[in-house]
């Protein structure tokens, strides 16, 4: 566990200025609406060297690699200047207290502080002048090979590992 924590702490933290807008890999119509929409892959699960898709359960829980997901590949949108994420059903994506599990809930105001770095890494905690972190924590659910996502390690969960989420369509316009 200490080795995993050391690896996460040594992982890059991407600094971005507040004035740094998102760009698009392809110039989809969302740019005119002031948002960038994307899907995510996860890297870092030790038993899976290749990237894995981030999908969703019907209730909006985001999961990595779960074989029975009704939404096998989630779709998310983020305002070009960062802030809160919405999913394709326009549910606000939040970090639930106290565990900070990342999920998208009907009627929820999205958690602020999300950004996408210049290499496409999804950052959390990027608000109030903070750079944000690209390290997420993933813990096995026991449900069809799925892994939940958290912004911090979950106390008492010994099988959690650090992962990094990459957007397929958005990146920081700053280099």
CATH number, domain containing residue 117 = 2.80.10
The model's pTM: 0.81
Cα 41 to chain centroid distance, Å, stands at 9
Q: Are 39 and 168 in contact (CB under 8 A)?
A: yes
Residue 75 Ramachandran class (φ > 0 left, ψ -120 to 50 alpha, else beta): beta
pLDDT at res. 18? 40
Q: Are 63 and 55 in contact (CB under 8 A)?
A: yes
Residue 83 in this model has a pLDDT that exceeds 90: no
Q: pLDDT by residue (tens digit) across 135-172?
A: 999 999 999 999 999 999 999 988 999 999 999 987 77
Looking at the structure of the chain, the number of domains it has is: 1
Q: Give the domain extent around 88.
A: 2-172
Higher pLDDT, residue 75 or 82: 75
């Amino acid at each position: 566990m200490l080795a995993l924590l050391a690896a996460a702490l040594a992982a890059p933290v991407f600094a971005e200025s507040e004035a740094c807008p998102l760009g698009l890999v392809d110039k989809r119509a969302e740019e005119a609406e002031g948002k960038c929409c994307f899907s995510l892959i996860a890297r870092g699960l030790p038993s899976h060297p290749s990237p894995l898709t981030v999908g969703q359960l019907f209730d909006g829980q985001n999961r990595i690699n779960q074989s029975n997901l009704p939404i096998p590949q989630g779709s998310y949108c983020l305002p070009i200047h960062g802030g809160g994420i919405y999913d394709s059903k326009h549910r606000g994506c939040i970090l639930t207290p106290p565990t900070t599990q990342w999920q998208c809930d009907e009627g929820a105001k999205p958690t602020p502080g999300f950004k996408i770095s210049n290499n496409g890494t999804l950052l959390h905690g990027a608000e109030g002048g903070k750079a944000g972190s690209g390290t997420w924590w993933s813990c096995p659910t026991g449900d069809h090979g799925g892994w939940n996502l958290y912004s911090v390690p979950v106390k008492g969960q010994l099988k959690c590992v650090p992962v990094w989420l990459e957007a397929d369509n958005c990146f920081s316009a700053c280099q």
